[in-house]
């Protein structure tokens, strides 16, 4: 492999490159040398913009206690009289020297913040690795091993690197992210829905992800209210995706609705309208009473509130999703929505 060219610039402004220009992006330095939190977010936003949908971004961080680990190994007396170590532990910051002398400056990220930071830029987190694993400070002996012993410790170290309980003792963290294709597909669909003034809600996993919850999205569910059933059929005609199942009245187990499925740029999109759920001998309509607008890369997307999502999952018996959503719900809004649901006989 040879380096064909390089550009000198800043990770916070990649405007020289168009959207979706690269198959992968490596952030191997900016996120620990940019001291300002807004600048770190801008670097991630630019990486998100220039990488292709479905492609990977590798984001490296210096871990919060890396300086302390290094000091223990090589100069354990220094932190006693150096206030920088206390500042790093408390804030993560090692700023420039007050006297202007050239010195190492960095932001030491806490292990609990790195994934949420990447998700806030729109990425899906595939894995977070403690880069050194248990090898830090032991490299000399490991480097002298024969092939079989070396391969053994590589495998062990990689497995340990994925163990979250070790990340507080790592010197560097690597967050492996992907730019999920569903986001660009949903953005285009939201533009179509807005242009034709169609009433809808994005529901399910995509809705949770748009609210910032850590969840892998496998498809896009778009639900139209019972008073706008024609909108589902109109929307189907506007999307130009690969029709897997044309929108039609269908009954599946405990649910029935006008339902169809398309594949758009490899992403499954489910369209539903007039959704009803069987309870005993009766069919109860979908609640679909709340509304929030979420910004997706400058495009407004209409979703349910997390409180209604929690109740929907509870009715469906999806307790894993309920446990994920509940900590992010407003208790008063949740109780009010539950009371309204009981009043209408939909609980």
pTM attached to this predicted model: 0.85
DSSP category for residue 329: S
Helix axes 181-195, 229-239, angle to 10 degrees: 120
Contact at 8 Å (CB) between 217 and 205? yes
Closest CA to 127 of 159, 156, 87: 159
pLDDT class of 310 with cuts at 50, 70, 90? very high
Token pair listed for 98: 């007050």
Q: Where are the domains of the chain?
A: 22-178, 181-343
Q: Distances from the Cα of 98 to the Cαs of 39, 53, 84, 95, in angstroms?
A: 21, 43, 12, 9
Helix axes 84-91, 66-74, angle to 10 degrees: 150
Measure the CA–CA gap between 247 and 270, rounded to whole angstroms: 9
SS3 256: strand
Given a cut of 80, whether residue 340 has pLDDT beyond it is yes
Determine the number of helices (DSSP H) and then strands (DSSP E) in the chain: 14, 14
The CATH number that domain 181-343 falls under is 3.30.460.40
Mean pLDDT, the chain, rounded, equals 92
Q: Which CATH superfamily is domain 22-178 in?
A: Vaccinia Virus protein VP39 (3.40.50.150)
pLDDT class of 347 with cuts at 50, 70, 90? low
Top-confidence residue, 1 or 234: 234
Tens-digit pLDDT profile for residues 143-170? 888 889 999 988 999 999 999 999 998 9
Q: Which long-range contacts (CB under 8 A, 24 or more apart) does 85-91 make?
A: 88/64, 89/64, 89/65
Given a cut of 90, whether residue 87 has pLDDT beyond it is yes
The DSSP result for 46-65, as a single string, is: HHHHHEEEEEEEEEEEEETT
* pLDDT score recorded for residue 285: 82
Contact at 8 Å (CB) between 203 and 229? no
Buried b (16+ CB within 10 A) or exposed e, 248-276: eeeeeeebbbbbbbbebeebbbbbbbbbb
Contact at 8 Å (CB) between 176 and 129? yes
Given a cut of 70, whether residue 189 has pLDDT beyond it is yes
């Amino acid at each position: 492999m040879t380096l064909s060219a390089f550009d000198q610039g800043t990770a916070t402004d990649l405007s020289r490159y168009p959207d979706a220009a690269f198959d992968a992006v490596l952030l191997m330095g900016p996120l620990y040398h940019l001291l300002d939190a807004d600048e770190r977010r801008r670097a991630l936003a630019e990486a998100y913009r220039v990488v292709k949908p479905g492609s990977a971004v590798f984001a490296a961080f210096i871990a919060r206690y890396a300086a302390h680990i290094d000091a223990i190994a090589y100069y354990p007396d220094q932190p006693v009289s150096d206030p920088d170590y206390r500042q790093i532990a408390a804030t993560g910051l090692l700023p420039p020297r007050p006297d202007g002398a050239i010195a190492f400056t960095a932001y030491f990220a806490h292990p609990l913040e790195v994934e949420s930071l990447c998700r806030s830029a729109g990425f899906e987190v595939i894995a977070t690795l403690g880069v050194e694993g248990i090898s830090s400070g032991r490299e000399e002996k490991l480097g002298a091993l024969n092939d079989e012993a070396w391969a053994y410790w590589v495998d062990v170290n990689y497995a340990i690197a994925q163990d979250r309980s070790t990340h507080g003792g790592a010197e560097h963290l690597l967050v492996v992210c992907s730019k999920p294709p569903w986001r660009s597909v949903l953005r285009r669909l939201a533009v179509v829905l807005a242009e034709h003034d169609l009433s809808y809600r994005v529901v399910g996993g995509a809705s949770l992800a748009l609210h910032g919850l850590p969840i892998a999205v496998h498809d896009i569910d778009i639900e139209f209210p019972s008073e706008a059933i024609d909108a589902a059929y109109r929307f189907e005609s506007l999307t130009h995706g690969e029709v897997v199942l044309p929108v039609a009245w269908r009954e599946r187990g405990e649910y029935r609705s006008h339902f169809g499925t398309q594949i758009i740029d490899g992403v499954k999109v489910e369209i539903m309208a007039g959704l009803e759920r069987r309870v005993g001998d009766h069919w109860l309509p979908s609640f679909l009473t709340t509304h929030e607008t979420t910004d997706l890369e400058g495009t407004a997307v209409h979703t349910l509130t997390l409180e209604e999502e929690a109740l929907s999952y509870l009715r469906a018996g999806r307790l894993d999703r309920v446990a994920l959503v509940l900590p992010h719900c407003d208790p008063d809004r949740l109780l009010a929505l539950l009371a309204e649901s009981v009043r209408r006989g939909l609980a």
